[in-house]
Every structure is written in C-alpha cells, then in structure tokens.
C-alpha cells in the first residue's frame, strides 16, 4: 500500500497492533506519527524503523484536554495530517458485579473518550482539506458482549467506538473524510501475554481458525482503510477475528 507523502497518526503505536500499523505506513513510504504514553518505547520503534519516517509524541489518553493539545501540536508541526488510527486501548476482565466506578471510568476514558478527543481535534483540519482517513479499533467484544478476554466495561467501550465510527462517517462523507472500524479478536500482543496458559487456550479453542492473530494480520486491514485503496468505503466495521463473529 502506497502512503507516499502521507502523514498518519497512530495512537498506541509503540507496541502490538499499533507498531505493526506504523511499520506498514513506513514500508509504504509514509510518515507515521506515534502518540503513546510510553515515549521511550515509541522512540525505540523510531530507531528500529527509521528516524526520518517516524515522529513521536507523549500523551496520556486519560486526559482529554492534554490529548487535544498534543494533536494541536502535531497539526502545527505538519502541513497536513492525512490519516488517524485510534488504536490505543486497555482491557478490563472483571465480571460485571466486580467492576468499580473507577475502573469503568478509566476504561471509557481510554477506549472511547480518547477516540472522541483525537478525532474531534483532527476532524476540522481534515474537513478543511477535503481529505481524511480515520480508522478506529473496536473489538469483537463489542458485538458479543465480551466472552473472550474483555468483559462488560470493555465491551461497552468498544461498542461505543462502533457507534462513533458510523456517526463520524455519516457526517464526514460530504467533506471527503472517511471513517471505518476494525474489530479484532484474540491477538498475540504484550497486552494478551499476561493471560494464563489455560485461559489463552480456552480463547484459542473458540476461534474457528484455531489460533490467535499476528498483529500484522490485524494491521493489514487497518492499513487498507487508511489508504486510498479504500476510497469508496466509509462507515464499515470489519471483523478480523479468525471467524468468531461471522455476522451478515
């Protein structure tokens, strides 16, 4: 996929699926802009993949005002930002009756409100330019109500991402701003590495393809949506889940 001349923000781009997306952007000749809490890890990715092809900004996505300020700084540093991949997120695994208000608020802040914050900060510039590609990472948990790794708080936050994706797609279409979503299932990343072997095997056994995804397999679909190959696609929510969902 060709990203020549394109500047694309990736939240949570320092590891896992986000890093795979950054690698795809760089390999396609684009400039990846990593927004991540862990600046040290982000800079290691830049050193690994190419210092001239990646820029790094530290951001705490729990803080919406700080998130919007960082995006504003990015817009000052680049003439145009062509794409945004809202990838950063956390998982919540507790049963519904054990979720505290504090955990609920944190999961919503990072998984849903941060998507609003970054998107609302970049949307006016995309609208003005008449061009934008936004990709939001949801989860199969949003459609299933959890059931794999994340539970109710996680599922609710990711369901909100789907609704927001479709709303932005509907409003942005007239201005050349496309917005699509991707729903991964179990993916082998640092976030899922903490799972016990028994729990991991139980999840894998529920996947028709019989394995977890490599981050690059999820990234391939994200990269398609953020590229011009998806020029006639907006408001689409794609399952990249090894066959778990199979919805119509």
The answer to whether residue 154 is catalytic is: yes
User: Whole-angstrom Cα distance, residue 34 to residue 13?
Assistant: 5
User: Whole-angstrom Cα distance, residue 243 to residue 99?
Assistant: 29
Provide the token pair at 116: 């609003």
Element (H, E) at 19: helix 16-27
User: Whole-angstrom Cα distance, residue 53 to residue 245?
Assistant: 36
Q: What angle do CA 7, 10, 16 make, to 5 degrees?
A: 135
User: Whole-angstrom Cα distance, residue 174 to residue 10?
Assistant: 24
- Block residue for tokens 């996680």: 154
Identify the active-site residue in 57, 123, 154, 225.
154
Any residues with CB less than 8 A from the CB of 88 and at least 6 apart, and which? 11, 12, 18, 35, 36, 61, 110, 114
Q: Which residues are catalytic?
A: 154
């Amino acid at each position: 996929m060709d990203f020549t001349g394109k500047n694309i923000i990736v939240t949570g781009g320092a590891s896992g699926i986000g890093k795979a997306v950054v690698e795809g952007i760089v390999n396609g000749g684009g400039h990846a802009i990593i927004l991540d809490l862990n600046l040290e890890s982000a800079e290691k990715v830049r050193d690994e993949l190419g210092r001239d092809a990646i820029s790094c900004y530290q951001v705490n996505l729990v803080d919406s005002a700080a998130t919007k300020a960082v995006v504003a700084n990015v817009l000052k540093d680049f003439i145009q930002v062509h794409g945004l991949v809202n990838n950063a997120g956390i998982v919540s695994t507790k049963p519904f009756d054990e979720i505290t208000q504090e955990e609920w608020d944190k999961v919503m802040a990072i998984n849903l409100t941060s998507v609003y914050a970054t998107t609302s900060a970049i949307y006016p510039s995309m609208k003005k330019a008449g061009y934008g590609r936004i990709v939001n990472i949801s989860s199969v948990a949003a459609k299933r109500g959890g059931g794999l790794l994340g539970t109710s708080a996680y599922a609710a936050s990711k369901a909100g991402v789907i609704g927001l994706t479709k709303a932005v797609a509907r409003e942005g279409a007239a201005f050349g701003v496309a917005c699509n979503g991707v729903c991964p299932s179990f993916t082998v990343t640092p976030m899922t590495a903490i799972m016990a072997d028994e729990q991991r095997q139980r999840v894998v056994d529920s996947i028709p393809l019989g394995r977890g995804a490599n981050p690059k397999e999820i990234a391939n679909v994200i990269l398609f949506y953020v590229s011009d190959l998806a020029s006639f696609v907006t408001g689409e929510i794609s399952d990249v889940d090894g066959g778990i969902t199979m919805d119509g």
